[in-house]
Structure 1
Amino acid sequence: MYEQLEKLTKQLLKYNDDILQIAEQTDWDGGQPDFFKTVKPFADEVKQTADEWKKEALAWIRSAGPKYVHPQQMEALAENIEKIAIEAFYPAAKRQRMKQFHQSIEYTLLLVSDRLKKGNNEKRLSR
């Protein structure tokens, strides 16, 4: 039932890891990327996925009412991943801050993934 949300959650987990790798690479390179060729296309892709994910996640929360998952978390996650998708390309962004955002985003995405799996398992068992 929530296949699209599962797919988008996996995609955001990948983006989240990609963002951390970009930040680490940027620290090593120290160069400035081309905003319109590199930063903007990646940030737009992340934003589009995050917006779609947030819409699906909020609908899921309303219909399934998963434990310990709240609309505010979905809003914050979408905002944070969009923010760090841009900041990762610039060495001025603090590495510690990037890691904190990465961990927070990963925690919420894994929580959603876990609750989706539990919801699917409960539905299969009740049949």
Structure 2
Amino acid sequence: MDNQTLLEHTQELRIWIEEAYEQYQKGKAEEEYPTYDFYTDIQPAVVKFDKKMEAWLTAAISFIHQAKPRYLHQEQLEAVQENGKEVVLQSYFGKQHAPRVKNLVESVIYTMNLLIEEIKKRS
């Protein structure tokens, strides 16, 4: 994956995380959390997210091994994958406490923004 494609994928995934967080907040604001069907709503969304995230992670790790940015490491990118998946899941269930989900979102977006800056420096 070239740098421009990685940049686009990173921006798409960041938007996806932001939208999942908005969905989580809307659900928390309502009296009763909306119900979703596991097989028609949740599973397809998580599988799609996993596939995109897996391709992104491979390309992002490859990029940081080549570019060797000072403040961005493989462990952070792997955490983005795990935390991003947690945010997407919580957007449907809303069982985690709001501060925990907010921290996950902020962590994911912060790391993705670092990656975006590094890619732009080298484009």
Q: Structure 1 vs Structure 2: percent identity of aligned residues?
A: 22
Partner of 2:62: 59
Q: Contact 1:88–1:98 (CA<8 Å) still a contact in 2? A: no
Q: Which of residues 101, 119, 122 in structure 2 aligns to 1:119?
A: 122
Q: Which of residues 70, 93, 98 in structure 2 aligns to 1:95?
A: 98
Partner of 1:6: 7
Larger radius of gyration: 1
Displacement of 1:36 after TM fit?
1.0
Where does 1:22-61 land on structure 2 (aligned, <5 Å)? 22-27=23-28, 28=30, 29-61=32-64
- Normalized against structure 1, the TM-score is what? 0.88
Partner of 1:123: none
AA aligned opposite 2:20: I
AA aligned opposite 2:13: L
Unpaired runs of at least 5, structure 2: none
DSSP 3-state at the match of 1:89: helix
Displacement of 1:24 after TM fit?
1.1
Partner of 2:113: 110
* 1:72 equivalent in alignment to 2:75: yes
Aligned equivalents of 1:94, 1:6: Cα separation in 2: 31
Post-superposition CA distance 1:18-49 (Å, at most 9, x none): 11011012212513211111111111121111
Displacement of 1:91 after TM fit?
2.8
Please give the root-mean-square deviation of Cα atoms over the aligned residues, in Å: 1.2
Aligned equivalents of 2:10, 2:16: Cα separation in 1: 10
Unpaired runs of at least 5, structure 1: 121-127
Post-superposition CA distance 1:69-127 (Å, at most 9, x none): 1000011101111122112211322111111101000000000000111112xxxxxxx
Regions of 4+ moved over 2 Å: none
What number of residue pairs does the alignment pair up?
Answer: 120
